[in-house]
């Protein structure tokens, strides 16, 4: 993505934002400082704010020797303060023009700040008209300055790189999008628990699991081996490649969810959820050449069903251990038992709930050089 494309995207974002918020009393965009990434963290002295700002600067002369040309300049700015407000005001004071946040693609929050709590930041976003409610929010334990200064070969800034990485994962059925608007909605819910993407700089911007958020505070991170379980339960149309061990070697299959049914039951104060999942599984390849008889197909089906069932159960157990219903079982219970749920303390009830998981899959096998149907 070149600077011209970036300029078009930013200008379109700004135009839409101004139309939605009303622009009769707005300041001309040329008289504002545009912040493309909102980020902050905490240190031993208080809060640290970072901004990746751009400006439309006029060069002395364009390449053709004519009048001044307009280019795009970016700069990382940093400020510190004992309080959230002080650090934010110091950041604003470093730029000569009013800060415009409507073009921000992503908000990056340091892990230390996330563990301390981000509710003050969320309330500031909720009360501010120029914050985009559709921006992505991520957590990192990396040095935020390193992320802001990262240069991607395909994207003009690290903010665009992060958003593009998330969109690609969502498009491929590998993750789901949880935006600022969703976080603000959760603030008013009895189940104020959710997951945010963790990012690292590992040969580039990389999604690295999820941070568990409960009432605006980070309680920890999900285990790496439960990522597929979260995707199965949170993504509408997940697409996962799974390795299934059999007596004839490993079989790699592509799994797609066809149906999900969650049935909550409330009886004598006890809460139970029956979860039924149906999948289509396409054989991709095998570790050794094998003839797929009906018996082997049944073995693959049985082992795959057991593997998915164990994964889902482990993923749910982890959420109960965190005492955080970030998988959103609360919603199905509230819909079926609205009056009873009003009287519950869901944060205390959720870890005690029982879950029964059943899985069924249909295996699709076609002839290839690695295996064949017998």
Each residue's pLDDT tens digit, 226-273: 999 999 999 988 989 999 999 989 999 999 999 999 999 999 889 999
> Per mean pLDDT, which range of 33-37, 301-305, 358-362 is the poorest?
33-37
Say yes or no: 347 and 321 in one domain: yes
Between CA 70 and CA 171 the distance in angstroms is 35
Between CA 255 and CA 364 the distance in angstroms is 10
Say yes or no: 196 and 57 in one domain: yes
Q: pTM here?
A: 0.84
Say yes or no: 165 and 119 in one domain: yes
53: three-class secondary structure by DSSP = strand
Domain extent at residue 85: 3-221
CATH number of the domain encompassing residue 337: 3.30.300.210
Confidence of residue 65 (pLDDT cuts 50, 70, 90): very low
Confidence of residue 308 (pLDDT cuts 50, 70, 90): very high
Domain count, the chain: 2
Residue 229, domain member (yes or no): no
Write down how long the chain is: 374
Instruction: Annotate 320-340 with DSSP letters as a single string.
Output: HHTT--TT-HHHHHHHH-HHH
Say yes or no: 215 and 141 in one domain: yes
Residue 39, domain member (yes or no): yes
Confidence of residue 289 (pLDDT cuts 50, 70, 90): confident
> Per mean pLDDT, which range of 160-164, 207-211, 255-259, 328-332 is the poorest?
160-164
Residue 338, domain member (yes or no): yes
Say yes or no: 211 and 139 in one domain: yes
Say yes or no: 10 and 152 in one domain: yes
Between CA 88 and CA 40 the distance in angstroms is 9
Say yes or no: 185 and 246 in one domain: no
Residue 230, domain member (yes or no): no
> Per mean pLDDT, which range of 17-21, 132-136, 253-257 is the poorest?
17-21
User: Please, what's the b/e burial string for 4-25 (b: 16 or more CB within 10 A of its CB; e: otherwise)?
Assistant: eebbeebeebbeebbeeeeeee
**Residue-wise pLDDT tens digits, 337-368:** 999 999 999 999 999 999 999 999 999 887 66
Say yes or no: 177 and 121 in one domain: yes
Domain boundary among 167, 198, 221: 221
Say yes or no: 80 and 211 in one domain: yes
Residue 226, domain member (yes or no): no
């Amino acid at each position: 993505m070149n600077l011209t494309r970036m300029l078009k995207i930013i200008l379109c974002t700004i135009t839409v934002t101004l139309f939605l918020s009303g622009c009769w009393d707005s300041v001309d965009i040329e008289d504002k400082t545009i912040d493309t990434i909102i980020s902050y963290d905490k240190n031993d002295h208080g809060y640290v704010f970072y901004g990746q700002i751009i400006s439309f600067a006029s060069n002395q002369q364009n390449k053709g020797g004519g009048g001044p040309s307009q280019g795009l300049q970016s700069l990382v700015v940093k400020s510190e303060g004992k309080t959230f407000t002080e650090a934010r005001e110091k950041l604003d004071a470093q730029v000569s023009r009013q800060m415009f946040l409507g073009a921000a693609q992503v908000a990056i929050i340091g892990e230390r700040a996330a563990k301390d709590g981000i509710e003050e930041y969320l309330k500031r976003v909720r009360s501010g008209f120029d914050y985009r409610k559709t921006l992505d929010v991520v957590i990192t334990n990396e040095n935020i300055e390193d992320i802001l200064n990262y240069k991607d070969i395909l994207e003009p800034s690290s903010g665009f790189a992060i958003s593009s990485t998330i969109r690609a994962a969502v498009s491929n059925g590998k993750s789901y999008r949880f935006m600022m608007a969703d976080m603000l909605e959760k603030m008013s819910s009895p189940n104020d628990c959710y997951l945010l993407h963790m990012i690292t700089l590992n040969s580039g911007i990389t999604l690295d699991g999820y941070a568990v958020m409960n009432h605006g505070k980070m309680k920890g991170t999900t285990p790496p081996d439960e990522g597929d379980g979260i995707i199965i339960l949170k993504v509408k149309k997940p697409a996962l490649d799974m390795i299934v061990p059999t007596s004839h070697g490993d079989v790699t299959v592509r799994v797609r969810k066809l149906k999900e049914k969650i049935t909550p039951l409330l009886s004598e104060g006890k809460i139970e959820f029956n979860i039924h999942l149906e999948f289509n599984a396409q054989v991709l390849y095998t570790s050794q050449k094998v003839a797929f008889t009906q018996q082997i197909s049944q073995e693959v089906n049985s082992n795959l069903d057991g593997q998915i069932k164990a994964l889902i159960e482990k993923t749910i157990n982890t959420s109960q251990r965190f005492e955080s219903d970030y998988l959103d079982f609360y919603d199905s219970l509230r819909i079926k038992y609205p009056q009873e749920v009003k009287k519950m303390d869901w944060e205390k009830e959720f870890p005690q709930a029982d879950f029964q998981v059943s899985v069924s899959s249909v295996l699709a096998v076609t002839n290839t050089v690695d295996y064949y149907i017998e």
